[in-house]
Amino acid sequence: MTETIKLGLVTDVVPIEEIADGWDFYEIPNSVHILPLHSESTWAANRDRYRSRGVPTPVASHYVSGTDPLHGFGSFASGPSYDREQQLFWAARSFRRMHEIGVKVAGVWGGFFRCPDGYPRTKAWDDAVSFCNILADEGERWGIDIALEPNADPDTLFPSYQEGLAFAKTVNRRAIRMMVDLNYFIKLGEPFDIVRADPDYCVHVQMAGEGNGHSQTNIEPRTAAYHELFTVLKDIGYRSTVSVAAPWLSSTGEDPINYHYETQVTLKYMQDLRDTHFG
């Protein structure tokens, strides 16, 4: 069988026991199911819950909780709230636990990289490089790449993929790579062709339908974008992972959500898209 891309589902809002069979992998949320603030016994229960499914977990997302007060914890990669000691603790536990569950790529959201008004921008850049070196030290120790995820926010240090790529090259660590997130490319109107500039830097792709949270229902307006992106992936010889940020709830309108059915519908759509471009 010809090697091709792997299709996965992000499990931040979907109970893994309700996911339809057939996905190549799960993308496990670090700050939810690998949370370093959890005890070792809580982590072991989460780890074994995933292992019992028999589905690989090569990708982790939501590396830190940022401005979201998840479990009362906020974390930043730059700015006055950047705390290197805090990040050293978070990284040591996160990467060891990610390694235990088989993670090979950890996504880090661009929203953590900020320079608030009154804070020197050069200092924010130094903070961000320091943060990425912490990630790279642990990533290279455990064999995990870090995929920076620019999030189209003009108040961040690198809103676009192009700017994120330039930043990653400035950090100049083997483990610091990039993620393509369809949402943010569309929000900025950034051309997918920028991925061709250095294909080796792209180690993960994340996709979504229109909408937010649990219901990303509107697929059709993005059909052209899906095909354009997959054309670029095929052209650059991409053979890594593509995940879906949430099931595309397109049919039943059930409450509560029938996750098994909806993840089955989403999987079939993605398999057809992959077959169209990769055979």
Q: Range with the lowest mean pLDDT among 41-45, 102-106, 267-271?
A: 267-271
pLDDT, mean of residues 125-135 = 97
* Residue 9 phi, psi (nearest 5): -120, 130
Q: How far apart are CA 103 and CA 139, in angstroms?
A: 10
Tens of pLDDT, residue by residue over 188-241, are 999 999 999 999 999 999 997 665 544 455 566 788 999 999 999 999 999 999
Query: What is the chain's mean pLDDT, rounded?
Result: 90
Quick one: pLDDT at residue 75?
A: 76
Q: Looking at residue 213, what is its pLDDT? A: 45
Query: Please, which residues have CB within 8 angstroms of residue 99's CB and are 6 or more apart in sequence?
Result: 142, 143, 144
| H-only helix segments in 143-192 | 161-171, 182-188
**DSSP classification of residue 20:** P
Residue 63, token pair as written in the block: 């590396």
DSSP three-state, residue 202:
strand
Percent of the chain with pLDDT over 70: 88
CA dihedral (216, 236, 55, 11) positive or negative: negative
Give the three-class secondary structure for 158. Answer: coil
With a threshold of 0.85, does the pTM exceed it? yes
Q: Is the pLDDT of residue 251 over 80?
A: no
Q: Which tens digit of pLDDT belongs to each residue from 24-80?
A: 999 999 988 999 989 999 999 999 999 999 999 999 998 875 444 444 456 789 989
Looking at residue 67, its pLDDT comes to 47
Residues shown for the chain: 279
At residue 150, the pLDDT reads: 96
Question: Which pLDDT score, from 0 to 100, does residue 133 have?
Answer: 98
Report the largest interatomic distance among the alpha carbons of the chain, rounded to a whole angstrom: 56
> pLDDT tens for residues 132-151?
999 999 999 999 999 999 99
Is residue 8 scored above 60 in pLDDT? yes
Cα end-to-end distance, the chain, whole Å = 11
Amino acid code (one letter) for 131: F
